[in-house]
Chain A
Amino acid sequence: MPITYFLILSALLFSIGVYGVLARQNAVLILLSIELMLNAVNINLVAFAAQLGDAGVGGQVFALFVIAVAAAEVGVGLAIVILIFRNRQTVDVDDMSLMKW
């Protein structure tokens, strides 16, 4: 299977993530969109690793790192969102303008 398919899938997935990050008001959805972008990257890494065979094993290792980091990031991010929700009864990023000039 040509690598092009994987790249197209990855690009689509990343674009959806970007759209989500830029357009969503809900902080949880923004975090979800970030996950999408990270996974698009992961698809890229694994696809190239598979194509390169033994030389591309670094890509698989890197994908595993990304998954671990993404889990940690989501953990911290959701914790922040939960705390904000407890304080302000909202997760809308437009309302989180406390530090705005």
Chain B
Amino acid sequence: MVSSFLLLAQHGGETVPPAVPQDGFFTQFMWLVPLLPALSFVIILFFGKRFRHGGAAFGIAALGAGLLLSLIAFVELAAGNAAVEKAWTWFDFAGGDSLLLEFGMHYDFLAGVMFVVVTTISLLVHIYSTGYMHDDERYTIFFAFLSLFTASMLFMVIANNLIQLFVGWELVGICSYFLIGHWWEEKENSSAAIKAVITNRVGDVAFLFGIFVLFFAGHTFNIEVLNHMAEEGEIAATTLTIAALLLFGGAVSKSAQFPLYVWLPDAMAGPTPVSALIHAATMVVAGIYMIARMFLLFENAGAALDVVAIIASITMLLAAILALVQDDIKRVLAYSTISQLAYMTAALGVGAYTAGVFHLFTHAFFKALLFLGAGSLIHAVHSNNMSDMGGLKDHMPHTFKTFIIGSLGLAGIFPLAGFFSKDEIIGGALRSASDLGQVSAWFVLIAATITAFLTALYMTRACVKTFWGSYRGHGDPHESPASMVNPLWVLAIGTVTVGFIGFPVIGPFADWITVPGHEHHGFEPLYNLVLPIGATIVALAAIALGIQLFYRERWRVDLLSGPFAWLYRFPANKYYLDDLYLKGIVRPIQYPIARATYWTNQKAIDGLVNGAGIATVALSKPTYDILDQQVIDFAVNGAAGLTGFTGGMLRYVQSGNVQRYAAVLFAAIAAFVALFALT
């Protein structure tokens, strides 16, 4: 079924060139891009060990080719080619349209941006991992899963229907499980992997039910059709709201929003390249991507967007505060990721679609950079804790420079990537709050501003603790190998440059990524001059405060026992959210289930097994005595005895007396003659 959604692609009105868009040559073959890493997964899995470096070259080659294709196809789109929608029937249950499962692709600007992000980051992470995972004993399988993860993510991005999207969604989840638990010898790591899967399962159930609701309302899984139906009001408003909230439930778990973000900090148990690829730049944005993909549906879903905005506001604040009190550098970045994901979600929540996707795009670069930089630090000092680092700026100049660029990018300092995207989001929130009167947008505005401040503060803290002061760890830290430093520089260059794509008013990003039917805003001094300056002041103030607090160490208060100890202890214990889940949900469910399972095991299953055993023994005794001994042995022995007896009788005939033989012969002949003569 080659679909006829060209109309939809044109729906953007002013933003799409007026000429009838043609299919680009390469855009039609974008389904190849997920296929390449899938192929490399199979090759590495089965033959990886036969090659030098465990077959990592296959993954790198597949992603290099994928990145090239993605860039070419994106250029084709930017040159005015149409979005491509193609589908092949996978299952056709009812012989009609009523339950049709498709295997399809929908490649537009949104998917294009994701493709570029995923292939770029994944390629760099692959290269980086050849250095980082150098001595790992499961090196080959690590690369196999990196490839599989990338393939799944791309498969999800290109999906044209919700079922395929869900399949990809689950596939990236399971790859995340394998990679978090890569060093499963330590209980903590395998527990983190299980926690990630189980926490995600909560959201996945909601997501799946959302899909069902939409299917029963719209009789299709096709995303574009559902979006169109939502826009045209063909689905009842209440149904839409329920469906959107359920879908958002999936995003809450996958994109680590309050209250299901608890898995992501623990997921830092995985190797650092995995954290960079999966838990910062690509997988966790799946939820954001899904909301963006279904944006028309969310927009028409009544209060759903307000819920999205408020949840995101809560998440970004909570996570940013948590990032302030962590000692593990990866956890700082993990909470920062949660906070930034909430930024994207909030952007979508206030209708700032372009800004949200743009932040997704820029965040991928600087967060991957920060994670890989953290990996480089960990590689050097053999510890995740910032209390074991310090003074590393002289030991690791490249890591230092790139990490500072990444931090400034995250803090939103001009002209780095984060500056543009963050301002777009704050501007979007202000626009929705003041111009459109969306109440929840005020929350987003306030939360986003405070978070911007906190972000700069915790990144200052991390940088000061890591690079300045004196070295507090063991051994002699050294700069990482070229395979790790080079990706850092590539990402640093990306962090510096990609922001300009979304330069207000003149940057092309807003032309590419727009909600169909929405006009994009022109130059307005309030949004394009006042806000960025204000945001920069906020960030600079935070950095200044951070330097005073953490570098000069002024106003030092005893956090652990002073009068403000609770202020520290509350976030240090992660708001007791983990304890709440463990004691409030997991244990009460776990113990009865465990007891019931034990009972079932002891009574029902063991009873069954033992009963079967006893019955078998009881049955086998008569079987042996009667059937085997009496019947079968009788038959066998009887046959032998009969044969022997017959043989013994026949033996007498064989006398050896020639004359007796002759006599018999003649007698027989005489008998025959007599017979013939008489008849």
| A interface residue numbers (CB < 8 A to B) | 18, 21-23, 30, 93-94, 96-97, 99-101
Contact = CB atoms under 8 A, between A and B. Distances in A.
Interface in B321-371: none
A96 B657 CA distance: 9
A101 B659 contact: no
Contact of A101 (B656, B658, B666): B656
B640 interface: no
Interface in B143-195: none
Interface in B642-679: 651, 654-659, 662-663, 666
A94 B657 contact: yes
A99 B661 CA distance: 14
A94 B659 CA distance: 9
Contacts of A21: 659, 662
A99 B662 CA distance: 17
- Output the residue of B654, B659, B662, B663 with the most chain A CB within 10 A: B659
B24 to A, nearest CB: 98
A22 B656 contact: no
Given A22-B666, A93-B659, A101-B656, 6 more contacts: A21-B662, A23-B659, A94-B657, A96-B658, A99-B656, A101-B651
Interface residues of B, number: 10
Given A97-B656, A100-B656, A22 B663 contact: yes
A30 B662 CA distance: 11
A21 B658 CA distance: 10
11 contacts: A21-B659, A22-B659, A22-B662, A22-B663, A23-B659, A93-B658, A94-B657, A96-B658, A99-B656, A100-B655, A101-B651
Nearest to A18: B666
B657 to A, nearest CB: 7
Contacts, number: 22
B654 to A, nearest CB: 5
Nearest to B666: A18
A93 B651 CA distance: 21
A53 B275 CA distance: 123
Contacts of A101: 651, 654, 656
Nearest to B656: A100
A18 B658 CA distance: 13
Contacts of A93: 658-659
B474 to A, nearest CB: 97
Contacts of B657: 94, 97, 100
Nearest to B652: A101
Contacts of B654: 101
A20 to B, nearest CB: 10
B510 to A, nearest CB: 112
A94 B656 CA distance: 9
B669 to A, nearest CB: 10
B441 to A, nearest CB: 115
B331 to A, nearest CB: 98
Contacts of B662: 21-22
A57 B658 CA distance: 37
Nearest to B670: A18
Interface string B241-267: 000000000000000000000000000
A70 B147 CA distance: 98
A17 B672 CA distance: 20
Contacts of A30: 659
B633 to A, nearest CB: 31
A27 to B, nearest CB: 10
A16 B659 CA distance: 15
Nearest to A94: B657
- Output the residue of A22, A30, A94 with the most chain B CB within 10 A: A22
B550 to A, nearest CB: 113
A92 B662 CA distance: 16
A99 B666 CA distance: 23
A14 to B, nearest CB: 10
A6 to B, nearest CB: 19
B99 to A, nearest CB: 84
Contacts of A97: 656-657
A94 B655 CA distance: 11
A100 B308 CA distance: 109
Contacts of A94: 657
A35 to B, nearest CB: 15
A93 B662 CA distance: 13
A99 B657 CA distance: 10
A97 B656 CA distance: 6
Nearest first, the 4 closest Cβ-Cβ pairs linking A and B are A100-B656, A22-B663, A97-B656, A101-B654
A75 B165 CA distance: 104
A101 B654 CA distance: 7
Interface in B604-660: 651, 654-659
A18 B663 CA distance: 9
Contacts of A100: 655-657
B333 to A, nearest CB: 99
Contacts of A99: 656
A22 B663 CA distance: 6
A13 B658 CA distance: 22
B215 to A, nearest CB: 90
Nearest to B658: A93
Nearest to B663: A22
Contacts of A23: 659
Nearest to A23: B659
A21 B663 CA distance: 9
Nearest to B654: A101
A97 B658 CA distance: 9
Interface in B432-475: none
Contacts of B658: 93, 96
Contacts of A96: 658
Contacts of B666: 18, 22
Nearest to B659: A22
A100 to B, nearest CB: 3
Contacts of B651: 101
B178 to A, nearest CB: 79
B644 to A, nearest CB: 15
B662 to A, nearest CB: 6
Nearest to A98: B656
Contacts of B655: 100
A98 to B, nearest CB: 9
B8 to A, nearest CB: 102
